[in-house]
Amino acid sequence: MRLIRFGEAGRERPGVLVEGDWPGGRALDVSAFFGDPGGDFGEAFFADDGPARLARWLDAHADECPAVDPKSRLGCCVARPSKIVCIGLNYRDHARESGLPEPAEPVVFLKASSASSGPFDDIVLPREGSKVDWEVELALVVGRRAQYVTEEEALGHVAGYALHNDVSERTWQLERGGQWVKGKSFDTFAPLGPWLATPDEIGAPDDLRLWLSVNDERVQDGTTADLIFGLPTLVSYLSRFMTLLPGDVVSTGTPAGVGLGLQPPRYLRAGDVVELGGDGLGVARQKVVG
């Protein structure tokens, strides 16, 4: 399945994209699956084997589900997670463009969940900081509580995959004490979606193409085959020192081509348009505004 959340910001409803891509595809409003108003694709849904239960429910009730207006706004494909965990320098080509050695262990930082936004929402430039950068990434969403899991068990704890633009303000990240979370957590700096693809939609996630363009110029084009630490390693590693809860997001790193790595460096300005996509993950588009 491809799970979407549609509607105005803060009042999104759960849906399933059943045909085509977005915008313009055919989607169903599955709010009735939850019974009580306000049910959503959040921690409780994923913790209770929600995707599998929803698939069975749809088999019986799809004809009763209202259609989603194909022009609807999409929100973040996961209701606000307890945490967004990100991995830095996890592509070999990105480490090279950064002039840094490949890390011996995963580089881990957190991104505030309040940064999450819809895949077609604007990226809002912060009041302080002028070095706003782009990073296309494969994100995974946790489906089962993960604590001290082995690499062999790891992918069994994944509910699905989504496209993530790990928007970064490099001044706050690198020049204000070296704490990356400060440059990563501004509002609108974590667009996720357009949809959450369950694992059967993706297959093996170890060779997915990811790309990103700025103003129609392709600047990133890579594949998860270039990951230094693969997804099973990341889930297992993180679960050794933090409990990953259902609905949590783990963003797995970005390939080469970020603005910081260009010569000379290039950063986003008001009016720029960022477009990104990935195999089985759809296409997202964000306009940069002041």
Q: Is residue 73 part of a domain?
A: no
For 257-289, write each residue's pLDDT tens digit.
999 999 999 999 999 999 999 999 999 999 999
Secondary structure (DSSP) of 149-207: --HHHHGGGEEEEEEEE--EEHHHHHSSSS-HHHHH-STT-EEB-S-EEPHHHH--GGG
CA count, 13 A, side-chain hemisphere, 95: 18
Residues 53 and 191 in one domain: no
Instruction: Name the residue range of residue 257's domain.
Output: 84-289
Domain count, the chain: 2
Residues 42 and 164 in one domain: no
For 125-155, write each residue's pLDDT tens digit.
999 989 999 999 999 999 999 999 999 999 9
pTM above threshold 0.85: yes
d(CA 240, CA 230): 16
Q: Is residue 79 part of a domain?
A: no
Q: Is residue 17 part of a domain?
A: yes
Q: Is residue 190 part of a domain?
A: yes
Q: What is the CATH number of the domain that holds 196?
A: 3.90.850.10
pLDDT, position 39 = 92
Residues 22 and 105 in one domain: no
For 159-211, write each residue's pLDDT tens digit.
999 999 999 999 999 998 878 999 999 999 999 999 999 999 998 899 999 99
Name the pLDDT band for 63 (thresholds 50, 70, 90): very high
Residues 124 and 171 in one domain: yes
Q: Tokens at residue 283, please?
A: 């296409």
Q: Is residue 78 part of a domain?
A: no
Q: Is residue 275 part of a domain?
A: yes
Quick one: average pLDDT of 36-40?
A: 85
Residues 183 and 283 in one domain: yes
Residues 133 and 59 in one domain: no
Residues 12 and 144 in one domain: no
Q: What is the mean pLDDT of the chain?
A: 96
Q: Is residue 20 part of a domain?
A: yes
With residue 46 as reference, give the H or E element that holds it.
helix 43-47
Beta bridge partners of 168: 133
Beta bridge partners of 278: 210, 282
Residues 134 and 267 in one domain: yes
Residues 117 and 173 in one domain: yes
Residues 143 and 273 in one domain: yes
Residues 217 and 131 in one domain: yes
Q: Is residue 249 part of a domain?
A: yes
Name the pLDDT band for 38 (thresholds 50, 70, 90): confident
Residues 124 and 177 in one domain: yes
